[in-house]
Amino acid sequence: MPAIASQIPLSQRSWKKVYEWSGFKLDALGLITLLGLQEVDYALGQLTHNGYLEYLPFLAANVVAADTIAKPLPGYRLFNLTDGVEALDVSAWFTHWLEHQRLQYASTKIRIHQRSATSSSYSLPKEWPFMVPAILLAGILLCLATQSRNVDDSGLAIHLTNVICLIGTVVCRTISLTQMRAAVDQVVLRYYRQPHTAHNHKECDVWLALPSGKSVRIEAQRGHVLSLLTLPRLLRPKLYDVSRGTCWVMVAGHAVTLGSTSLLYQAACITSMIASTVLLLCRPRWACTKEAKLRIGNVLEFEIVAHNFIDDTDDRHSHAYARMNMEPEMEESMVAWGLMPHTRNSGWWNRYQDVKQRVNGNEAKTCIYATEGCYSLELERTIESSTSAQVGDQEGLQSDSQTNNSAAEAEVVAT
C-alpha cells in the first residue's frame, strides 16, 4: 500500500484529501429550493433585463418551472380616472414589478413611455457581453467537477451531471423569460397597430391601489394602460411548456445530484447561487443599469417620480389627490369607488380643497362639492365678509330709520 500511495502524484493526493474532507454537512435540497422563494419570484416576474446577472444561476429555480412568475398577485385595484373605469385584473408582470420597487406611501408617480423599438426580437449578439459572468462561473464549476476523477470514477459523472442540470435551469429560465417579454411587447404594439390609434394615444390619469395600503399615480396613454390590464399571449406556447417541463427535470436532477457531490463542490455551487441571488435582489449599478431596471421587454419603459417632503404628513392620500388637480367628474368617481369620503365629512373636504389651492395656485379646479358643504378657508372668509357687510348695511338702515323717526317726532312737538 505505501508503494502504491507513493506512485500517486502529490497533486492528486492533495485533491483527494480536499474532496474527502467532510467537516460538516449541507442541506442542499432545502437551500436551493426554499431559500429566497418569494423574493426570486418577484424579481424574475417583473420581466426586466438583469444586465450581467441575467444568465447566472439563482436560488429557487422552481419558480420558473411552477410558472408562479406568470401568476398575478391579488389585491391590486386600478382606477382609470379619465375613462371612469375600475379594473381588478392587473397583469402579473406589473404586479411583480411594483412589489420590487421602493414606493412612497401615496406620492409616487409613474410615467409610462414607449421606446422606438418596433419589434420584440431577441438579439443573441447583443447578449454575449452579459453571458461572460455565467461562462466564467460554469468554467469554475466544471474545473471542480473534473477534479473529482482523482477521488472516484463515479464521482466525475455525478459532478458533471450536476453542472449540466444547473446550466439547464438557466437555459430554461432564459427561454421562458424571453417568451414572456415578447408577449408583453406584442400586446403594446398591437394597440398601436389598430385602426383607431388616435383613441389609444389619449393621455389618461390612473390611480393604482396596492394591497399593502400604498397608492401610485400613473400617467400614460390609453394603449399603455390597456397593456397593464391585458393578459399577454405567448407567441410559442408549446415552446414555453416544453421549457417549463424541462426545467422541472433540471431542478430535480440538480437537487438530487448535489447531495452526492463533494463538500467543496457543494460549498462553491451554493455560495455562487446565493451571491448571484443577493445581487439580483440588490441589483447594483455596475451589474444592472438604471435603464434596464425600468425597461420591460423592448418596448415599454417606466419613469418613477418621487417627491421629497420635509414633513411626512404631506405623503398621504388627501395631499396626493390635491396634487392631481382632478376635474369634478373625477372626484365623483373617486367618491363612488370609496377612495374619497362622502360630502358629510366636511372637515376632510375643507383640508383637501385648501391643499388643492395651495399646491396648484390659480390653476386649482373648484371642488365638485363646494355647494354641498366643501368650503375652503378663502370661501369661508368671503362668506364671513359678505355676511358682515350685510349686517352693517342692515344696522345702517336701522340707524337711518331711527334718525328719521326722531326728526319727525321733533317736528310734531314743535307744531
pLDDT along the chain (415 residues), means of 10: 44 56 60 84 92 92 92 92 91 92 90 72 73 93 78 76 95 94 88 69 91 92 88 90 95 89 86 93 83 85 81 78 88 90 85 84 62 44 50 53 50 42
Is 166 a member of any domain? yes
CB 223, CB 113: distance < 8 Å:
no
Cα 206 to the chain's mean position, in Å?
15
Distance of CA 307 to the CA centre of its chain: 18
Angle at 196 between CA 184 and CA 200, to 5 degrees: 50
| 85-87: strand order across its sheet | 85-87, 77-80, 203-209, 215-221, 108-114, 300-305, 295-296
Specify the pTM: 0.79
Question: Could you tell me if residue 415 is inside a domain?
Answer: no
User: How many Å apart are CA 393 and CA 143, to the nearest integer?
Assistant: 100
207 and 335: one domain? no
Same domain for 71 and 174? yes
Place of cell 389585491: 75
Domain end among 260, 282, 304: 304
Q: Do residue 329 and residue 206 come from a single domain?
A: no
User: 275 and 359: one domain?
Assistant: no
Cα 100 to chain centroid, rounded: 5
Whether 151 and 272 share a structural domain: yes
Residues with Cβ within 8 Å of 165's Cβ and at least 6 positions away in sequence, in order, are: 250, 251, 253, 254, 257
b vs e for 146-166, b when ≥16 Cβ sit within 10 Å of the residue's Cβ? ebbbbbeeebbebbbbbbbbb
Structural domain contains residue 309: no
Three-state DSSP at 136 gives helix
Which of 281, 304, 327 lies at the terminal end of a domain, its last residue? Answer: 304
The residue segments making up the domain with residue 190 are 2-304
Q: DSSP code of 112?
A: E
Length of the chain: 415
Structural domain total, the chain: 2
State the Cα–Cα distance between residues 72 and 228, nearest whole angstrom.
11
Cα separation, 161 vs 184, in Å, equals 35
| Degrees to nearest 5, angle at CA 395 with 393 and 399 | 115
Residues 255, 338 share a domain: no
Q: Determine the pLDDT at residue 413.
A: 40
Look at the block and give the residue holding cell 401568476.
Answer: 71
Q: Residues 372, 287: one domain? A: no
Same-domain pairing of 297 and 348: no
- Give dist(CA 244, CA 266) in Å, integer: 25
**Other CB atoms within 10 A of residue 320 CB:** 22
On whether residue 244 sits in a domain, the answer given is: yes
CB of 51 within 8 A of CB of 181? Answer: no
CB atoms within 10 A of CB 318: 18
The answer to whether residue 107 is domain-embedded is: yes
Residue 36 corresponds to which cell in the numbers above? 429566497
Residues 121 and 247 in one domain: yes
Evaluate whether residue 410 is within a structural domain.
Answer: no
User: Within 10 Å of residue 54's Cβ, how many Cβ atoms?
Assistant: 21
Whether 82 and 144 map to the same domain: the answer is yes
Is 293 in the same domain as 324?
A: no
Domain end position, chosen among 304, 325, 347: 304
- Same domain, residue pair 180 and 221: yes
